[in-house]
Structure 1
Amino acid sequence: METKALTETNTGPHAGRKEWIALGVLMLPLLLVSMDVSVLYFAIPYVSEDLTPSATQQLWILDMYGFVLAGLLITMGALGDRLGRRAVLLTGALVFGAASAPAAYAGSAEALIAVRALLGLGGAALMPSTLALIRNLFHDARRRARAVTVWTAVMTTGVSLGPVVSGLLLEHFWWGSVFLINVPAMLLLVVLVPFLVPEFRSKALDREPFDLLSAALSLAALLPVIHGVKELARHGYAPLPALGIGGGLVLGYAFVRRQKSLAHPLVDLGLLRQRAFGGAVGANLLAMFATVGMAVFFTQYLQSVLGMGPLEAALWSLVPAVGVMVMAPAGALLAQRFDRAYVMGGGFVVSACGFLWLTQIRPDSALWFTLTGGAVYAGGLVAAMTLANELALGAAPPERAGSAAAVLESGQELGGALGMAVLGSVGAAVYSRDMTATLPSGLADGDAVRETLGGASAVAAHLPEASADAVLGAARDAFTHGMSYAAVGAAVMMAGAAALSLALLRGTSASGSEAPRTSGADGAKQRVGTGSSPL
């Protein structure tokens, strides 16, 4: 199987029933790993009641999983290329499943933080392996495009589905149930994968020692940057997070310099210089910037402005997935007939229109109006991201698909953190300005009211009815105004992503070759046969 995978071209054998069943099995861990990013959002009040964590511990309970996941993606992707992607996938499933049971029955905040870190370790092993194995299961470009469409849709849907599953479980069970659902799914994965998914490892990389220093540098660079960006988004400027970001960037520079000096680096920098791969990573980073940055506003609007309960808001937030189900397959079909750079650019333009639609939302807007805007921007985004994922995967030589997938996903994590920080700061600044201009300076607890909509709601609960209505009305207007400005920022980023797609990705093919220079199959054959990246 290894020799076959290393010599297949873009026009290799068609995938059969076994490959499609294998894809379905691989989507199970991807769904759970992406769900675990958000599954604790509704459960955290119950966790706090049971374990009484401090404010700092509560933040680490929520964030530890995502931090470890992001920090270890590059390391786990490179390990999969060397040790075997199926082996790393199965190891990740065992770790993820084994950590889920102690997470469910954690007796202290410290124990829950520790097992959340183990869940992040397992998730980091699972995510790049699922995308990289698609490269080995589907050698034909059209079928690989469909498989990547499914992968992208499952990944993006999982984050939205986490709160829904959490809300449903918490209506009937205790908070630990949100972790226990992982156990049977991981057991099923461990049983089925050896029969359905072939192993793949690079023979050339298998003989090379794994560079532990590079792995440590990648973790040490990503963690403080992502943590610092999230802290700045939550609390505004503070010296420690800013220092962490600066230190992470310095370590990132050291990581890049080390990769240049290695014969077999963890990250192939030559691959990043390819238009097909580097452009796809950049486009995906911008897409996640807008997606995550606006998700916080969208959910809070449904709950705090429209007054929905958490579960009701989570269920309504799934409605925009209709746009994804329509746009993602349509984008894949259009890319078979037209230059995918134009299709991606069109997807980003559609997404920008959806964000601009959201600028017209008011506190009393009809629900269908809000959900339609969400469906438009989500559909355009996922359509473009699907094509970007396919380009990046096709650009990587098969023996480097694991590390390439990890770089792509690391860019998504960084884009999401930046989006939350930048768009969140824009919305918060507009909210604070509006509230300062609207409310009298002598209002009790005025700082809390001017800082967040949640703070305004908490203060209003202790005010007379007339005063509470005035405070809440002003806060909802200010929040919606801030969301409009954030939506403008997201639309601008989508316009930039469209321009980036057109500038860098015209003439690239799903095999990663550049049409003006090589014919698709010949270019892919030359690259795969040598195991190197064209510059």
Structure 2
Amino acid sequence: MTTTPKHDTTGGTPAASPAENRRWAVLAICCVAAALLGIDNSVLNYAIPSLSRQLGPSSTQLLWIVDIYGFVLGGMLVVAGNLGDRIGRKKLLLMGVTGFGVASALTAYADSPGMLIAARALLGLAGATIMPSTLSLVRSAFSDPKERTTAIGISSGVAAASFALGPVVGGLLLDHFWWGSVFLINVPVMALVLVAGLLVLPESRNPHPGRLDWVSVPLSVVGMFGIIYAIKTGARNGVDDHTVWLTAAVGAAALIAFMRRQTTVAAPLLDLKLFRNAAFSGAIASNAVTMFTASTLSLGASLYFQVVRGWSPLTAGLALLPGPLSAAFAAPLSALLIPKIGRARTVALGLVLLAVSTAGLGMVTPHSSYWWLLPVLVVNGVGIIFIFSVTSDTILASAPRTATSAAAAISETAMEIGGALGIAVLGSVLSTLYRNDLRLPGGVSAQTAGAAEESVSAGVETGGKLSGATGRHLIDAARQAYCHSLHTTTLVAAGIMLVGAVAALFALRNVPAVLDDRTDGDADAAAVTGACEPKDAAPAAAI
């Protein structure tokens, strides 16, 4: 069970528990595990050309290779989080780390598309056990509110930076080794995490979890899988695809049945009472809004550098790196802002910074100077970490200790859905505007025009196949149209972020600057009735 500080017999200060003595080592281990997940999540796209040449997957198989990880991850998060609270968060993390290492080796040496799809599904399953376990273990190791906020901020910063490391690591490995090397590198790192975790990580769990409701498990998995599949497939193939409506209907029906069942069973898989807590629900909503807009920004920036500017994946990855690195370095600053301006204003400030940087990125042209873009990327990284470091800490601290893995899983699930919806909605806006803004040169055949209108990548590729001035004009037209469409899309995204900033001010307005760990499992509204603004907040020295 969760370890609590033991008082000495002299009436002095509490004696530190073994978990607290190792708390910074716990943070380091969890950061490495989470960072590897972030790198692996972004590295596949850069290995696709090489693995496609070697394995020869069909177009359908290639889509499953790309998507199956996210489908399984999103579908299993709620179940995995609940399981961690039951059997032990350390135990579940070490099981996930072992599974992730084995699945990485299977992925690296896959000799057929089918084997690769199966291995990627196993990676998603292992990732679902690692994600909530890392955050809940960090929360358990830090009992001091100020240290806990700082630690979760650092963890969030490292996780943010890891996504940008994927292109860099992938580019370096693919320049010297075969495509499987980008997955094989996971094995020694996960082996190190496994050994260190066995020796250092403390165990924590819900001491009285109740009986697992086995009916809720398939309802949760089918519901989440169906919704995420429908969102991603609809974004790619359009809503006319009948499988989109079928899977959406099945997923929605399963989720409705799941939610209704959670209100009747004694030990629910998902405790809906958590959402009565203003701190918890407000932070979840802020995360979903952020991912809804930021995911499209990430896609737009990647296409801009690689397609419009023509940079290699490695160069594009290095160009984007200052954003996540600034997030990692700015993470501790959020812990300093909370006692000064409150949690609501810190999250709102992050969303405003994100909105400004998003609108700034949308102002790019095919020939914009990178040095003009650099401060935009830095501001973007700082804004993201002001949001996620505060919301992650708020979610974990406002949930009872007995349900920290489940709370972390809910947060991760909301972010998965928010990101998928962002790509589906804003990505569709970007594509539609691109087609409307594309001005094709004269003399282009209908077939060539249709190919160029598919996307900016297709437009540049199609233009490259045409000889003479026509080809150059088509490439220029595609790049200009993309920049115009990116400008409008980012303005829409920035507007949504500003609305989210205002909503965060209201949703989190009663959340106190200090959120003490709750040891009695109580997570009702009384936990958040303190003041969050500086004039009413507890003094900084008390944090």
Q: TM-score, normalised by structure 2?
A: 0.91
- Counterparts of 1:382-393 in structure 2, within 5 Å, are 382-393=385-396
Q: CA deviation at 1:459?
A: 1.4
2:234 matched residue in structure 1: 232
Q: CA deviation at 1:436?
A: 5.6
8 A contact 1:294–1:486 mirrored in 2: no
More displaced, 348-357 or 369-378? 369-378
How many angstroms apart in 1 are the aligned matches of 2:239 and 2:296?
18
The yes-or-no answer on 1:475 pairing with 2:478 is yes
- SS of 1:87's equivalent in the other structure is helix
- SS of 1:445's equivalent in the other structure is helix
1:70 matched residue in structure 2: 74
More displaced, 181-190 or 372-381? 372-381
- Compared with structure 1, are the counterparts of its residues 186 and 427 closer, same or farther at alpha carbon in structure 2 (3 Å cutoff)? same
Q: CA deviation at 1:237?
A: 2.3
Q: CA RMSD in A?
A: 2.1
Tell me the amino acid that sits aligned with residue 57 of structure 1: Q
How many angstroms apart in 2 are the aligned matches of 1:328 and 1:474?
41
- Counterparts of 1:288-327 in structure 2, within 5 Å, are 288-327=291-330
Q: 1:423 aligns with which of 416, 423, 426?
A: 426
- Compared with structure 1, are the counterparts of its residues 171 and 302 closer, same or farther at alpha carbon in structure 2 (3 Å cutoff)? same
- SS of 2:119's equivalent in the other structure is helix
Q: CA deviation at 1:492?
A: 1.6
2:138 matched residue in structure 1: 134
- Compared with structure 1, are the counterparts of its residues 226 and 194 closer, same or farther at alpha carbon in structure 2 (3 Å cutoff)? same
How many pairs align? Answer: 518
More displaced, 55-64 or 336-345? 336-345
- Counterparts of 1:86-101 in structure 2, within 5 Å, are 86-101=90-105
What percentage of residue pairs aligned between the two structures are identical? 37
Q: CA deviation at 1:438?
A: 6.8
- SS of 1:307's equivalent in the other structure is coil
2:533 matched residue in structure 1: none
1:422-461 Cα deviation digits (max 9, x unpaired)? 1111111110001167766745411111121111122112
8 A contact 1:288–1:419 mirrored in 2: yes
Tell me the amino acid that sits aligned with residue 96 of structure 2: G
Q: 2:23 aligns with which of 19, 28, 42?
A: 19
Q: 2:417 aligns with which of 407, 411, 414?
A: 414
- SS of 1:365's equivalent in the other structure is coil
Q: CA deviation at 1:287?
A: 0.9
Q: 1:108 aligns with which of 112, 118, 125?
A: 112
1:518 matched residue in structure 2: none
How many angstroms apart in 2 are the aligned matches of 1:440 and 1:378?
44
8 A contact 1:345–1:499 mirrored in 2: yes
Q: TM-score, normalised by structure 1?
A: 0.92
1:174-232 Cα deviation digits (max 9, x unpaired)? 11111111111111122111221110111110xx2212221211111111211211122
More displaced, 29-38 or 45-54? 29-38
How many angstroms apart in 2 are the aligned matches of 1:192 and 1:463?
57
Q: CA deviation at 1:332?
A: 2.0
8 A contact 1:390–1:510 mirrored in 2: no
Q: 2:42 aligns with which of 16, 38, 43?
A: 38
The yes-or-no answer on 1:380 pairing with 2:371 is no
2:223 matched residue in structure 1: 221
How many angstroms apart in 1 are the aligned matches of 2:483 and 2:491?
12
Tell me the amino acid that sits aligned with residue 85 of structure 2: D
- Compared with structure 1, are the counterparts of its residues 62 and 24 closer, same or farther at alpha carbon in structure 2 (3 Å cutoff)? same
How many angstroms apart in 2 are the aligned matches of 1:275 and 1:128?
21
How many angstroms apart in 2 are the aligned matches of 1:5 and 1:503?
35
8 A contact 2:211–2:267 mirrored in 1: no
8 A contact 1:12–1:140 mirrored in 2: no
8 A contact 2:352–2:497 mirrored in 1: yes
- Counterparts of 1:339-418 in structure 2, within 5 Å, are 339-418=342-421
8 A contact 1:320–1:375 mirrored in 2: yes
2:534 matched residue in structure 1: none
1:515 matched residue in structure 2: none
- Compared with structure 1, are the counterparts of its residues 5 and 231 closer, same or farther at alpha carbon in structure 2 (3 Å cutoff)? farther
Unpaired stretches in structure 2, ≥5 consecutive residues: 8-13, 527-543
Tell me the amino acid that sits aligned with residue 51 of structure 2: V
- SS of 2:249's equivalent in the other structure is helix
Q: CA deviation at 1:496?
A: 2.1
How many angstroms apart in 2 are the aligned matches of 1:476 and 1:12?
63
More displaced, 120-129 or 437-446? 437-446
8 A contact 2:158–2:328 mirrored in 1: no
- Compared with structure 1, are the counterparts of its residues 185 and 530 closer, same or farther at alpha carbon in structure 2 (3 Å cutoff)? closer
8 A contact 1:86–1:199 mirrored in 2: yes
- SS of 1:36's equivalent in the other structure is helix
More displaced, 110-119 or 29-38? 29-38
Unpaired stretches in structure 1, ≥5 consecutive residues: 513-520
1:446 matched residue in structure 2: 449
